[in-house]
Amino acid sequence: MRIQDKVIVISGGASGLGLATARYLIEERGARVAILDLNDEAGERALAEFGAAKAVYLRCDVSQAESVAQALDAVLERFGAIHVCINCAAILGPSKVLGRDGRATPLERFAQMTAVNLNGVFNVMSQCAERMAKNEPEAGEERGVVINIASGAAFEGQIGQCAYAASKAGVIGLNMPAARELGALGIRVNAIAPGLFLTPMAAQMDEKIIAGLKEQIEAPKRLGDMREFAHCCAFIIENAYLNAETIRLDAASRLRAR
């Protein structure tokens, strides 16, 4: 799918990898982007940076069906179509099986993580797909592209990442059945499992912590550049033969147990 002038929905697009991807797709590929997020201040900053002709910010809770429906309807009203969905919205948080007191971790903590990181991905993906299915197919075959963001933790979850790792593994599990179902409609579904990236949050960490993280990375021995993530999203969009795949974008790093 050509990116120029396409309408791309990015959940969690007001910061971090989502914002970097929005910036890359707008400034270097000529896309129009709808940023879905709960951070109004960051969303308004992004809109001021990109301009109303190329971007729209919509407050949206991905874990709530009605919130997503309202946001996507607003995207259609603003831009007339949705061609690409990139699901970056996610939350972090510790979750062991047992706490320090030996008691089971409250189910609510686990459910909160999956509500956003897994249910939220399905929510946005499915509602975008409903609207993509009405697009005229490009080159006679493609109506839409979905990119769901997993994590290296889906493969090698660290101690304390039970909920996060499980939610991200679930994202990968969506790939094949969703791609098989939506392929008949001309919609591809893929995932990216990013490793350690130099996000604004990571950049604020102590240099010793960053140095320790680099030791877990094989080559190149550095944290990933957010533009490299954005470029990977562009590659998935443009390569029409890539479907139901998870790309590990992690410089061959594998997370240790702790």
Per the annotation, the verdict on 164 as an active-site residue is: yes
Cα-to-chain-centroid distance, residue 114: 14
Q: For residues 170 and 163, give the distance between their C-alpha atoms in angstroms, rounded to a whole number.
A: 11
| Active-site position among 24, 57, 164, 241 | 164
153 token code pair: 């933790």
| Coil vs helix vs strand at 109 | helix
Cα-to-chain-centroid distance, residue 94: 20
* Residue 12 burial (10 A CB sphere; 0-12, 13-18, 19+): buried
What stretches of 49-171 adopt beta strand conformation (E)?
Answer: 55-59, 84-87, 144-149
Q: For residues 222 and 251, give the distance between their C-alpha atoms in angstroms, rounded to a whole number.
A: 8
Put residue 244 in one of left, alpha, beta given phi > 0 → left and psi -120 to 50 → alpha: left
Q: For residues 147 and 189, give the distance between their C-alpha atoms in angstroms, rounded to a whole number.
A: 6
156 token code pair: 């090698």
Residues annotated catalytic, as ranges: 164
